[in-house]
Structure 1
Amino acid sequence: MSNEKVLLVDGNSIMNRAYYGLPLLSNSEGMYTNAVLGFINILLKVIKDENATHLGVAFDLKAPTFRHDKYKEYKGNRKGMPDELRMQMPVIKEVLKAMNINIYEMEGYEADDILGTLAHKAQESGLDTTVLSGDRDLLQLATDRVKISIPKTKKGTTTVENYFEKDVIDLYSVTPTEFIDLKGLMGDASDNIPGVPGIGEKTAIKIISKYHSIEEAYENVDELKPPRASKNLKENYDLAVLSKELATICVDCNIDFEKDNMVIDDIFNEETYKLFKNLEFKRLLEKFDSSIGDDEKSILPVNYNSIDTKDELKKLISNILGNKLLAYYIVTDNDKIIGVSVAYDKENAYFIKCFNELESTYVFEQLKNIFENKDIVKVTHGLKRDLHILAKYNIKCENVLFDTFVGAYTINPTKDTYDIDDIAREYLDIIMKSEEELLGKGRNKISYLNLSEEELINHCSMLSAIIFYSYDIIDNKINELDMHKLFYEIEMPLIYVLYDMELYGIKVDSVLLNEYAEKLGKIIDLLESEIYELAGETFNIKSPKQLGIILFEKLELPVIKKTKTGYSTAAEVLDKLKGEHPIINKISEYRQLTKLKSTYADGLFDYIGKEDSRIHSTFKQTITSTGRISSIEPNLQNIPIKMEIGREIRKVFVPEEDYVFIDADYSQIELRLLAHLAEDETLIEAYNDHQDIHRLTASQVFHIPFEEVTSLQRSNAKAVNFGIVYGIGAFSLGQDLHISRKEAQEYIDNYFRKYPSVKIYLDNCIRYAKNRGYSLTMLNRRRPIPELMSSNFMQRSFGERIAMNTPIQGSAADVIKIAMINISKRLKSENLRSRLILQIHDELLIEAHRDEVDLVKKYLVEEMENAVDISVKLEVDVNMGMTWYDVK
């Protein structure tokens, strides 16, 4: 028996499945890619699972087919293909051609007919064949050697249902050939095949399983049961025959089955690699042989050079000193410095090795004069990382003009990565290997030192060449987008502020942290006991399966949602079950506290420095699309403070001896910015008169005198105020306030009646973003919103919420950044010992020396309240304490 196996793919069907199976994705150029990515993932999985040796993909053409000639209304009720999917059809064909995969299209016929013909000819040639399609019409092609595979994609995971002839019989009680007659009787709404009125699937199965064909059934039409089926077939026999003809897949199209042309071979080639790179399919790049993409040397008109000796280094430094511009990149491997890539002109790039004869200490001693030379302009990629590295060698880098990493983020803040290979592709149209592609990842990751000499020199030298060639292009783009001030006055100076914050860190009292962990542990143990008592037995509370059995079988609570493995016990399910049983609140609290303990009470110990007892978090300025700063390792911005026990963890963060904490927090900055941006006179006047804005809103929305507003009404108005900023809908607001959707909509409508300028402003935000494809903050921070162009209602609605929220939230992010830069400059220019150590959303934390407390408070208020000049006064709440807990 031959080991050859043919895989035939229904291109349109699988693209459709892939499109709806993955969220809408796009690359940095705005090209939609989710259907292409999903298609390739499905295809590769099925090739592997089937051990396929031959492959062909069939597509429909726009031209009418022979079925339209027979029945003009054929597929007449089909909705048009979404634009986001249509755009991807030529892309998948380009990818398949690059992968050396045969594409079949034929005027007058559908992909089904092409697949049917190829499957028939493959079987005649004695080959086992798999037909991959989401269309069950193809079940008529199943035999003992032709298998129909129907994929199902959910959340990126694909499973496949397989049908040979016997499987079709088991499922429908008819043979694959009889399946055509089945379709003829029952019709097919998706293809607008009429069938016989009144005959559904169950009746059709009974008729065809007994009589085997429509013609035979008609011969015995008076005997058909039920009588209505007999009557309908008698009256609509011609329609049944027509429907059968429409449902019949042609297996004798004029297509040659040339097996040798369908061999799966060299699909992961250089051309495919470049396409996947441009489409940003990073995970798929792992499948390519390491030699693919190795033509890096010839990509730029640059000579790549290795600096191996002290004499060569000395000569290079002399040449650099004679130039005004230096692009550089420090190459590291697991925090160990491998070398320094430098380029000072367009002709040459150099890789200074930091091993063998040249050790890193010696290299940086020699480079110190370069880095600290104010006359040499430097451009780099990832300046904050550089500052940490150079500080270890007592080097202060001067006159750094440009960071391509932050520059690329400024232009498009919605991307996942801004690595040098991303920069090369996007701004220089150059394909180069990423570090992960070059070295691998996880256990299989190799060192730079394991690369061949040529590969090491070419790749590492190229890093600075890419920076040298691209920075001017990125800079011009920033200027073209009117973001020069944003980049040079906010993003670049912020790098140094974040570096200082990382360097200082925040002190943690390990004894207090240990006591806190023990306290949490006791509360969790008590909660466990209470949950077991309410459940009437012990079980694994963390197991969704065991918890589901307790809640929905033993305690018989109403089932909200089921999963493949049982009952859903997700947070949203528990929220809906609140009030049904006292165990629900206990479980919710248990989950919160166990997460708090593992992430912070226990987890923080790993981050405490042994020498200084301080946690040095990493602050990221290129993660969020709104411009907000984020914190990782550990995330100090996300400590849960809504629960009192969660807030208590702040007690373990303490200042150094002779220092105190001073905390400054913007008061309702987003609402103040909304008042300014919307030019709403009522809100502006209220803020400038220091009124309680939530009480005012309650008075306006609920038609109650200002003095009579209750605390509950004020709380509800607060939810409306902040909800409006985030484009909240009636459904979500109703859930938040535990009121009906109708009542929530009345709140929103009343709000906009009282603050009409806000409604106009938010509508204008959506209109602006739809017209231009992006939204802007006060300082011209730009956020692309491709979701606004989606044909999907949910995607479009999401895009509209982003369009409303980004100018406000993004402007708030810009304001806090300006405040951070200005307060840092002020503290340094005054030669104070106090320092900014944390930023948490709208809050700044200063570790202030006791002798400087009054000055720090004064400077904080001045710099934060005057960060921007707007029509609403910015207000800051300032507090002082001996722990982070005390100041909030």
Structure 2
Amino acid sequence: MAATKLLLIDGNSVTFRAFFALYSQLDRFTNGAGLHTNAIYGFNNMLDVLLKNEQPDAVLVAFDAGSKTFRTKEYADYKDGRAKTPSELLEQIPYIKQLLEARGIKHYELPDYEADDIIGTTAARADAAGWTTTIVTGDRDLTQLTTDSTTVQVTVKGVNELEAYTPAHVKEKLGITPDQIVDLKGLMGDTSDNYPGVTKIGEKTALKLLQQFGTIDNLYANLDDLKASKMKENLINDKANALMSRELARILRDAPVTVQLDELDYMGDQIDALRALYTELEMRSFLAKLGGSSAADKPQTPVEYTVVDDQSIADVVKLTGPVTFELEMLGDNYHTSEAFGFFIGNANVTYVSTDVSLLTLPAVKDWLEAQALCVFDSKRNYVAATHLGLTLTNIDFDVLLASYLLNPDDNSNDLGKIASEHDYFDLPMDEDVYGKGAKRSVPEDDVLFSHFARKSAAMLALQPHLLEDLKSQDQADLFTNMEMPLARVLAKMEIAGITLDQPTLKKMGGEFEQTMKVLEEKIFAEAGVKFNLNSPKQLGEILFEKLNLPVIKKTKTGYSTSVDVLEQLKSASPIIQDILDYRTISKIQSTYVTGLLKAVLPDGKIHTRYLQTLTQTGRLSSVDPNMQNIPARDEGKQVRYAFVPSHPDWQIFSSDYSQIELRVLAHISGDPNMQEAFREDRDIHANTAMNIFNLDSPDQVTPDMRRQAKATNFGIVYGISDYGLSQNIGITRAQAKAFIDGYFAQYPLVKTYMDNMVKQARENGYVETLFHRRRYLPQIHSRNFNLRQFAERTAMNTPIQGSAADIIKVAMIRMDKALADAGLQAKMLLQVHDELIFEAPTSELETLSSLVPKIMDSAVDLAIPLKVESHFGPTWFDAK
């Protein structure tokens, strides 16, 4: 009979790890009540993995009962100095315990003892009972508990990457036995638990001593064997600390744990309790798994499909009613990935095949190009179809775009996940079918075609509900007249691409390399030694130990050499500016020279992808490569020389909105002073500077005054604080407050607008752009001040930034139509925030110079005029 398998989990350690693994997304992991859920989410994911991998018969999750234990009585400074547990984490711990109960798992804590002692005692009892035990923790101290029947799994990264410690692994890794780990800790101490050990003895020395003497007791019994040294002196002086530290590090195996082994049976998920908890926490992805969305679960409903060949494909053209269509491909970049299959279906039948050439048969091609289609990610399907020689013209519904508008916080690109967000649970996620990362592959036909059929059914089921929700939220027009046509415009731009002059860029790269070598030699001369410039550790030692520059900031691994630190040190030594210059050129070389050359496709062009459903404000993002991030100033701007027209005697033409966000602010706020300034075409930054600095004439405004006023103008748009403004422009906090007060005195309705937006967000839970694009702000009710303040700033800014993004989208749609209507050869190639980039024959430049500003100016009817500036030249550099 197999031994009982016990799983012991260090609750505090794993909860802490789960919290910080998703800390960067903290603002996204909240429910409508403002409760943070990132630790709960990460912990639950970890449980899924562990329960699947370990298949335990019994489980216990141990928690600390409080900060005071028998160890703090023995040593008052034990664990003293640890950072206070974030309130965003503390509020989640009761829910994690509730989650454990709903998952049929026992949790336990014991006053005066730590979770470690509960685990150590329970593992010892399990050993005695002949059980096999797995302990999961983020604390390597627990590796002292490993035995022939107990394995300690230590989290390496996040909560799901684990390193298994057995007695053999401990010996292999450290050269000692598990029993010697407490002696190791006694000698070296522990900074995280704050007990001292022996002065100046680190892990390396401690291990060497233990390999020689075995234990602390034997070491002190044989101190005479050590040569006279500072280390020996420290050992003698710190003997009491060593013995105390060893005992503090020792995990109890006989604590008075009241919960017995026979109380730890793993009961499995309590579905009703889990569903109620997931609903309260608004964890739709976990709700989906309860509904059978995992590929390992049995589907709720059977699916049927028809595999077509070159004979039966003719049946496709007989389809009526809402028709779904999709080309599947494994890679995210549809410019380089090939489609391996397709489905076309309606409510009665789904046709599937892995032979995409069937779509190019004349009758099918003609029908498909004219057919009204429901798809998921229309832009991807537009581009993929183009690769097959198809031009789709009538995609009339996109599940991805509709879902994004309804919930811009969810930027998933997986139909299975999105379906579950809308309470449709009969579709697995793509990763369940194709796998992840390097293991991603096309499955057997029956699995693939079933997935296709489920996708088709999901799209048909979701379409009417999504459309109804869009109408109820007054977003149907935004969907139909902006996002849907924009997808087709973006597809055309991506397909067109922009030509990269590779010889020019390679020559530039050579020049950058030379500049870096010159700077490198100069830095070595100033340092007086050669070192690895790209090693923060070595650079820190040079700057702060060899050159004795003032230490600004330290990290866990040594001295910080971040840009903000170096900026503060510029006046301390000339080497600092050279290092900053080296880093700048190095980044340009790696990101924009090497990176762009790698991204060129065989046609000699860069084909970026615009992410239409990523940002919460509606702004487009560019990837593979990011063309919105090509430098516009300083040395990096030279890279723009390499972007050229695709034909001789053509030019690059650029038009961009001037101060569009401030103009939107003037319109939305209705402030008469700001509106007057724009109507009279005044320099808005000089206009603000006159008020801030109490000047009588624009002529009195210095460049530095204008710079500070500009920072104030744009800072106000983003809800900046007096502290933030002071840091941005290098003035005192009092001066910054005076600037902001002066700004609001000059434009009082801007302050009224901002207060109203925060009030609306509190009342409605969201704010909107001029085009009814919504951004939900659950953090507006957060109990955490910083998150609540961030939500308030977001409420002020989103209608401005989002409306500006919407305006350029409208301009792009109208511009695409205007170029076609005018019969011009000119092509729209790129959108870079507030700027549109075209290529055009020289003969069309005069027409473009009139047409483009006219279209962009009239994209929306504001209370004040929009202003567009245009330039052109033989390269992108010359056109801007």
Task: Give CA-to-partner distance per residue, 1:77-119, whole Å, 9 cap, x none.
Answer: xx99968865774466446644x533569xxx87979998897
Please give the residue correspondences for 1:323-338 in structure 2 after superposition, counting only pairs within 5 Å: 323-333=320-330, 335-338=337-340
2: CA distance between counterparts of 1:16 and 1:800? Answer: 28
Q: Measured at CA, do residues 378 and 292 of structure 1 come closer, stay the same or move farther in structure 2, by a change above 3 Å?
A: closer
Give the TM-score of the pair, scaled to structure 2. 0.77
**8 A contact 2:40–2:95 mirrored in 1:** no
2: CA distance between counterparts of 1:817 and 1:154? Answer: 41
Give the deviation of 1:797 after TM superposition.
2.2
Match of 1:874 among 866, 875, 878: 866
Give the deviation of 1:348 after TM superposition.
3.2
Please give the residue correspondences for 1:249-288 in structure 2 after superposition, counting only pairs within 5 Å: 255-258=259-262, 261-262=265-266, 279=283
2: CA distance between counterparts of 1:525 and 1:309? Answer: 61
Give the deviation of 1:658 after TM superposition.
2.9
- Count of matched residue positions in the alignment of Structure 1 and Structure 2: 768
Is 1:471 matched up with 2:473? no
Is 1:768 matched up with 2:772? no
Task: Give CA-to-partner distance per residue, 1:337-393, whole Å, 9 cap, x none.
Answer: 332212211x43332341xxxx624665442132133xx421111111222222234
Give the deviation of 1:35 after TM superposition.
1.5
**8 A contact 1:4–1:54 mirrored in 2:** yes
2: CA distance between counterparts of 1:688 and 1:37? Answer: 51
2: CA distance between counterparts of 1:501 and 1:58? Answer: 56
Is 1:315 matched up with 2:315? yes
Instruction: Provide the secondary structure at the position in 1 that maps to 2:619.
Output: coil
Task: Give CA-to-partner distance per residue, 1:775-817, whole Å, 9 cap, x none.
Answer: 2111111112233222222222222222221111111100111
1: CA distance between counterparts of 2:495 and 2:59? Answer: 57
**In the alignment, what sits opposite 2:206?**
none
Give the deviation of 1:460 after TM superposition.
1.6
Is 1:456 matched up with 2:451? no
Is 1:847 matched up with 2:839? yes
Task: Give CA-to-partner distance per residue, 1:1-54, whole Å, 9 cap, x none.
Answer: x98775555757864674467422656976843121343467689999999874
* AA partner of residue 638 (structure 2): E
Q: Measured at CA, do residues 686 and 95 of structure 1 come closer, stay the same or move farther in structure 2, by a change above 3 Å?
A: same
**8 A contact 1:660–1:850 mirrored in 2:** yes
**8 A contact 2:650–2:841 mirrored in 1:** yes
**In the alignment, what sits opposite 1:698?**
689
Please give the residue correspondences for 1:370-519 in structure 2 after superposition, counting only pairs within 5 Å: 370-373=367-370, 376-448=371-443, 451=444, 453-519=445-511
Give the deviation of 1:698 after TM superposition.
0.8
1: CA distance between counterparts of 2:307 and 2:51? Answer: 47
Please give the residue correspondences for 1:157-176 in structure 2 after superposition, counting only pairs within 5 Å: none
Task: Give CA-to-partner distance per residue, 1:207-229, whole Å, 9 cap, x none.
Answer: xxxxxxxxxxxxxxxxxxxxxxx
Task: Give CA-to-partner distance per residue, 1:284-309, whole Å, 9 cap, x none.
Answer: 99xx9x9963456x435x64213243
**In the alignment, what sits opposite 1:679?**
670
1: CA distance between counterparts of 2:637 and 2:481? Answer: 35
**8 A contact 2:8–2:61 mirrored in 1:** yes
2: CA distance between counterparts of 1:397 and 1:575? Answer: 53
Give the TM-score of the pair, scaled to structure 1. 0.76
Please give the residue correspondences for 1:193-204 in structure 2 after superposition, counting only pairs within 5 Å: none
Is 1:57 matched up with 2:61? yes
1: CA distance between counterparts of 2:741 and 2:254? Answer: 58
Task: Give CA-to-partner distance per residue, 1:173-204, whole Å, 9 cap, x none.
Answer: 9xxxxx9xx9xxxxxxxxxxxxxxxxxxxxxx
- Larger mean CA deviation between 308-317 and 554-563 belongs to 308-317
Structure 1 outlier segments of 4+, above 6 Å:
2-5, 41-53, 59-62, 109-119, 128-135, 141-173, 248-254, 265-268, 274-278
* AA partner of residue 405 (structure 1): L
2: CA distance between counterparts of 1:147 and 1:651? Answer: 63
1: CA distance between counterparts of 2:160 and 2:755? Answer: 38
Percentage identity across paired residues of the two chains: 34
**Structure 1: stretches of 5+ with no match in the other structure:** 63-78, 174-178, 183-247
- Larger mean CA deviation between 864-873 and 509-518 belongs to 509-518
- Larger mean CA deviation between 392-401 and 532-541 belongs to 392-401
Root-mean-square deviation over aligned CA pairs: 4.5
Match of 1:804 among 770, 774, 796: 796
Give the deviation of 1:257 after TM superposition.
3.4
**In the alignment, what sits opposite 1:101?**
105
Give the deviation of 1:661 after TM superposition.
2.0
Task: Give CA-to-partner distance per residue, 1:134-171, whole Å, 9 cap, x none.
Answer: 99xx99x9999999999999987999999999988998
**In the alignment, what sits opposite 2:785?**
793
1: CA distance between counterparts of 2:682 and 2:115? Answer: 73
2: CA distance between counterparts of 1:339 and 1:132? Answer: 42
Instruction: Provide the secondary structure at the position in 2 that maps to 1:341.
Output: strand
Match of 1:341 among 336, 343, 363: 343
**8 A contact 1:95–1:275 mirrored in 2:** no
**Structure 2: stretches of 5+ with no match in the other structure:** 67-83, 171-176, 188-192, 196-251, 332-336
**8 A contact 1:630–1:637 mirrored in 2:** yes
Is 1:524 matched up with 2:516? yes
Task: Give CA-to-partner distance per residue, 1:418-440, whole Å, 9 cap, x none.
Answer: 32112321224315322222222
**8 A contact 1:123–1:145 mirrored in 2:** no
Q: Measured at CA, do residues 392 and 750 of structure 1 come closer, stay the same or move farther in structure 2, by a change above 3 Å?
A: same
2: CA distance between counterparts of 1:690 and 1:787? Answer: 39
Is 1:627 matched up with 2:618? yes
Match of 1:651 among 635, 641, 645: 641
**8 A contact 1:8–1:115 mirrored in 2:** no
2: CA distance between counterparts of 1:143 and 1:826? Answer: 73
**8 A contact 1:17–1:153 mirrored in 2:** no
**8 A contact 1:505–1:617 mirrored in 2:** yes
Q: Measured at CA, do residues 168 and 745 of structure 1 come closer, stay the same or move farther in structure 2, by a change above 3 Å?
A: farther
Is 1:304 matched up with 2:293? no
* AA partner of residue 385 (structure 1): R
Q: Measured at CA, do residues 732 and 603 of structure 1 come closer, stay the same or move farther in structure 2, by a change above 3 Å?
A: same
2: CA distance between counterparts of 1:696 and 1:59? Answer: 60
Instruction: Provide the secondary structure at the position in 2 that maps to 1:55.
Output: strand
2: CA distance between counterparts of 1:292 and 1:410? Answer: 26
Q: Measured at CA, do residues 258 and 115 of structure 1 come closer, stay the same or move farther in structure 2, by a change above 3 Å?
A: farther
Match of 2:654 among 663, 670, 682: 663
